[in-house]
Amino acid sequence: MSFINKLVNSRWFSPLALLAAWEAGSRLGLIPERTLAAPSAVAGTLFGMLVSGELPSNLAVSFGRVLTGLAIGVTFGVVFALIAGLSRKGEAAVDPLMQIKRTIPTLALTPLFIVWFGIGETPKIALIAFASMFPVYLNLYSGIRGVDLRLLEGARSFGLSRAEQVWHVILPGALPSLLVGLRYSLSIAILVLVVAEQINASAGLGYLINNARDFMRTDVIVVCLIVYAVLGLAADWLVRTIENRALVWRPSLVKA
């Protein structure tokens, strides 16, 4: 009795119940397989795709796209934020452009990027890079501008040069903001990946999904959705790990 009580009160209960209902619906023929494959079928497909190497190899391709796009986007975001954050002239030059960029939804640029870069890897990576640049820029820029002026003044009173002030005070002070930006950038990168991969892909998760759609393989589609979710979780975990290492000085983490 108490076990059932515990189960009903646990946060696992409703997802598990949904899963069970879904499985039962599939078995009883209420949910046709062409609409949605049964969870057991999905699990089987996942296992099969893992063993055959189909999933790992395509995942590696998608992962490579995200990583390349992110590397480019984050680099540009950081550079622009430093330019805008550390000098008034830089702010006047860079910030208006970034604000204009922000008003254009990245995905709306897809047709233009296809015209410019064709349908190979370049437009996919370019889209991810373009989208992931802004959160890093915005957060790091405001982080730099929000650095405690009293700390900066203290450093100045000890005769630190401008470069030393940037290195010892401004950048460490802006690091928490940068990591927040990085977290947004990661999730946006994965979001854009999903759409970008629909562009005539011959490998990657998007290719798998497109292929599965053509053959009405709902089990494969669900597997890919799960993989996207896992990618998102992994990205979040990555930033959390970086935060725990880089921000050990924060009291909440000191006490923990």
Interaction site with other proteins (CB under 8 A): 150-151, 153-160, 164, 168-169, 172-173, 175, 247-251, 254
To other proteins, the closest distance from the beta carbon of 248 in angstroms equals 7
Q: Smallest Cα–Cα separation from 69: which of 243, 190, 200? A: 190
Alpha carbon distances (Å) from 212 to 130, 149, 207, 218: 29, 56, 8, 7
Question: What is the smallest separation between the CB atom of 241 and other proteins, expressed in angstroms?
Answer: 18
Query: Cα–chain-centroid distance for residue 115?
Result: 26
**Angstrom distances, CA of residue 115 to CA of 65, 80, 122, 123:** 19, 26, 11, 9
Nearer to other proteins, 164 or 236 (CB): 164
CA dist list (Å): 75 to 26, 70, 141, 197, 223: 48, 8, 13, 22, 32
Task: Output the CA–CA distances (angstroms, integers) from residue 133 to 75, 127, 139, 184, in the order listed.
Answer: 8, 10, 11, 10
Q: How far is the CB of 177 from other proteins (least distance, A)?
A: 13
Residue 153: helix, strand or coil by DSSP? helix
Question: Smaller CB distance to other proteins: residue 153 or 236?
Answer: 153
> 25-34: b or e for each residue (b if 16 or more CB lie within 10 Å)?
ebeeeebeee
| Of residues 101 and 156, the one with the C-beta less far from other proteins | 156
Q: Which is nearer to other proteins, 15 or 159 (CB)?
A: 159
Residue 34 or 88 with smaller CB distance to other proteins? 88
Q: Which is nearer to other proteins, 37 or 166 (CB)?
A: 166
Q: Please state the closest distance from residue 203 (CB atom) to other proteins, in A.
A: 43
